[in-house]
Amino acid sequence: MTARSDAVARLTAHEVTGERSLSGSLAEVTLDDGRVVVVKRSGDPGATRAEAAGLRWLAATGTVRVPEVHGHDDDWLVVDRIPEGRPSRDAAVAFGRALAGLHAAGAPAFGAPPPDGPADAYIGLAPMRNEPGTDWPRWYAEHRVLPYLRRAVDQGTVRPGEASVVERLCERLPELAGPAESPARLHGDLWSGNVLWGADGQVWLIDPAAHGGHRETDLAMLRLFGCPHLEQVLDGYEETAPLAVGWTDRVGVHQLFPLLVHTVLFGRSYAEQALAAARAALAR
């Protein structure tokens, strides 16, 4: 047996009858009862623990669909495989309603991790600290924007003279953030690659960076990299939980966090997008 199949057998109490590698860290594994699961290997125990806790926290709401966690340890995570289908308008509307329900389930605080989830988590490949706070503008600046801005400056991806644009936006967040809202239960990394259109006609969410946050952040990330039938998703969302007036003017504010994460991970082109988003928000 390979180390991967041995881990899956141990975590699921089923023998492995087949494996198919999907990437260096991801594989599909067939169990002796015919089920196919996905197994992911992580280089950081905190990342595995955070993803498993996040999936369970989202599932506990009974709103959005997420893969079931079959087991995990410090190195491995085993979840359901989701057979993929094609995007549809009806599925998009239903997803929007479910996402509104997820957000309404709430969180103890902005930055609150899922129960049993670590404070030191991840968003994609980037470390993400879940430090609870009660005031969203201050928390967002201190724990979501400025840490990645500092890393980008240290890397040389954002030039020191450019950083002041983002710092000015952080200073003005109390006036730019819109009406105060209670902490929402966020997926936290809701780009289109983590939105699966299932063969069952439903939308499934994978790879969360779950935490308590502002609901507009999830919606802004859906817009950032495109999502099939996004307008129908938003229609379903607003039918269930109307958004505050002016939310579309705040999209750039909420996109600043993922753009800076991408700046740290992938370089200068995302820095330029982040700076453009900050300038546009300051100009409103």
User: Maximum Cα–Cα distance for the chain, whole Å?
Assistant: 60
Give 96's contacts (C-beta < 8 A, 6+ positions apart): 232, 233, 234, 235, 236, 237, 238, 239, 240
* 8 A C-beta contact, residue 15 and residue 7: no
What Rg do the C-alpha atoms of the chain give, in angstroms?
Answer: 19
* Cα–Cα distance, 198 to 15 (Å, whole number): 26
* Cα–Cα distance, 37 to 69 (Å, whole number): 10
Task: Tell me which of 73, 120, 189, 207 is the catalytic residue.
Answer: 189
Structure tokens at 221: 């990330």
Angle at 98 between CA 96 and CA 104, to 5 degrees: 105
Give 28's contacts (C-beta < 8 A, 6+ positions apart): 19, 20, 22, 36, 37, 38, 39, 81
Annotated catalytic residue 6: no
- For the beta carbon of residue 64, count every other beta carbon within 10 angstroms: 25
State whether the Cα torsion 271-273-274-278 is positive or negative.
positive
Q: Roughly how many angstroms between the first and final C-alpha of the chain, as a whole number?
A: 60
Q: Which positions are annotated as active-site residues?
A: 189
